Amino acid sequence: MTTDNKTGVVTPLKALQQRCDKQGSSVAFVQPMGGGELREYTWKQIDEEARKIAAYLQSQGMQKGDHVALVSKNCAEWIITDLAIWMAGGVSVPLYPTLVEETVRQILEHSESKFLFVGKLDDWEMMKNGVPDGVKQIAFTLAPESALSAFPKWPDIIRDTAPLAEVNEPDLSDLATIVYTSGTTGMPKGVMHDFNAFSIVGEKMIKVYDLQPDERMISYLPLSHVAERVAVEIAQLYVGNKVFFAESLDTFGEDIKRAQPTVFFAVPRIWSKFYQKASEAVPPKKLNKLLKIPFLNKVIKKKVLGAMGLDQCRIALSGAAALSPEIITWFKKLDLEILEVYGMTENLAWSHTTEEGDQQIGWVGTPNDGVECRIGEGGEILVRSLGNMKGYYKQPDKTAEDLTDDGWLHTGDVGEIDPKGRLRITGRVKEIFKTEKGKYVAPAPIENRLVTLPGLELACVIGEGMGQPIALLNLTPEEQDKLSKGSGKEQFTKELEQLLARVNTELDPHERLTCLVVCKEAWTVENSMITPTLKLKRNEIEKHYAEGIAQWSKTKGVVWEA
């Protein structure tokens, strides 16, 4: 029994038991193991492995309330570990799988984690020296070889350990997890969420999206981020659908076609990549012509979406940043309505959802059940949500700054609410800048318009104290590779010039860009230009290019960094 007797709220662990009772032999996870091999997990197998890992943790001295960290790309063992930590009475502390050594150390020390699970990683060598002495480490089945040879291994633990008979019975107010924000500036903050928030959001998600047990999802965005964790792990516990895991970036095309998701959540960067690749195969003008041919219309739509693995998708969601109107409109022509959603780590991503058929491009929908929203001082969006955090771990001053006594969260976003209650986000309080003419510019909407061009990966609009804004650009690895071979620079420059002209026609005079600068160096997590969730670290980018910006601000057109 893992419910609060007074409220009857079903906790995630109780939801797992319900799945075992109702769907015990049904396949819940499909995990690529490498070399074309797949492993399927039933609900009963998930429960059994979680109980064994929980028993092992307790055998190693774990006490109720201890913090247990995990760092891995998405995989079945990630979710099983999360459940095991809760079964053993612990608090899970997920780390992004792309963190640098220094940040690993900061988070593990700050969170006082006693254990660390190490899983699928691209560069464990870069991270491992950040693990403080005394932290006991355990290797997932798909962990790097250096971790498998150094730490107790998951397969051995599962083979040699008896399942925990009596799992922890958490109170709804018990701390469930500490999620460290990706940190666009400074040290990541540890956001605390209790079981009550997970329980309420888990049950409400099913109603908002009318989720059914026969849904299919693919898990590929970091589970260490609350949006993926709630949309995939928590929702699945309450509805009982099947989750497919992606193997790697290189196999993603095959992975998504295997999953044929009926529900698909992506960030704008992913939707942009889909659009760019499809546009390279069938340019938008040609697609428009083909769609006007009656007997070809349905065939073309199915073929284009099928090439992305999205021909079975009934719910398409986009979040984390605004999606370009051009991309939303393009997908709508294919009968796939991308619904923009809004949420934060601090409210367990439970804030706003665009309802099907009620889409207004540029707006993120109305408040979810159990959410209130208002506009505060300076246009800041304030949200009171049933998913709101308990606070920041060991940072009471910061908690008091962002969370009012009566439960309103300062989001740091600026926006407006229309008469229907729909919310529009116009920028970040700390990102909006003022040009020398005294006009305010929100960079994000302009950046989203720029990155629709195939070949562009990221854009950073800057202009504090300048006559007009400019944009720094990062190319996709594919475009970089093509240009390094000496082909296409002249043509790509022309495309950038056309992009600049077109985007400027869509902007107010004070927002118009004088030039686009193609930067040589890729912006990565390792060089501190972006966060693990692919957000721009604007301060770092502006600092890095400070010398060039002074010159580029006086230039017009397209500039290639020398």
pLDDT at position 342 over 90: yes
Domain of 399, CATH number, reads 2.30.38.10
437 in Cβ contact with 510 (< 8 Å): yes
- 488 and 371, same structural domain? no
Looking at residue 312, its pLDDT comes to 96
- 411 and 451, same structural domain? no
Q: Is residue 372 part of a domain?
A: yes
Q: Which of 171, 186, 205 is the last residue of a domain?
A: 205
- 42 and 177, same structural domain? yes
Domain count, the chain: 3
Look-up of token digits 């927002």: 511
- 187 and 46, same structural domain? yes
Query: For residues 417 and 361, what is the distance between their CA atoms, to the nearest angstrom?
Result: 14
Q: Is residue 326 part of a domain?
A: no
Looking at residue 1, its pLDDT comes to 35
Domain of 116, CATH number, reads 3.40.50.12780
The SS3 of residue 193 is strand
Query: For residues 346 and 226, what is the distance between their CA atoms, to the nearest angstrom?
Result: 9
Q: Which residues contact 264 (CB under 8 A, 6 or more apart)?
A: 217, 218, 310, 313, 315, 316, 317
Span 382-398, mean pLDDT? 96
Looking at residue 7, its pLDDT comes to 56
Q: Which residues contact 440 (CB under 8 A, 6 or more apart)?
A: 432, 433, 434
Find the domain containing 556 and state its range.
433-560
- 515 and 382, same structural domain? no
Q: How confident is the model at residue 445 (pLDDT cuts 50, 70, 90)?
A: confident
Q: How confident is the model at residue 3 (pLDDT cuts 50, 70, 90)?
A: very low
222 in Cβ contact with 74 (< 8 Å): yes
Q: Is residue 132 part of a domain?
A: yes
Span 190-217, mean pLDDT? 94
- 457 and 446, same structural domain? yes
Give residue-wise pLDDT tens across range 143-198: 999 999 999 999 999 999 999 999 999 999 999 999 998 655 567 899 999 999 99
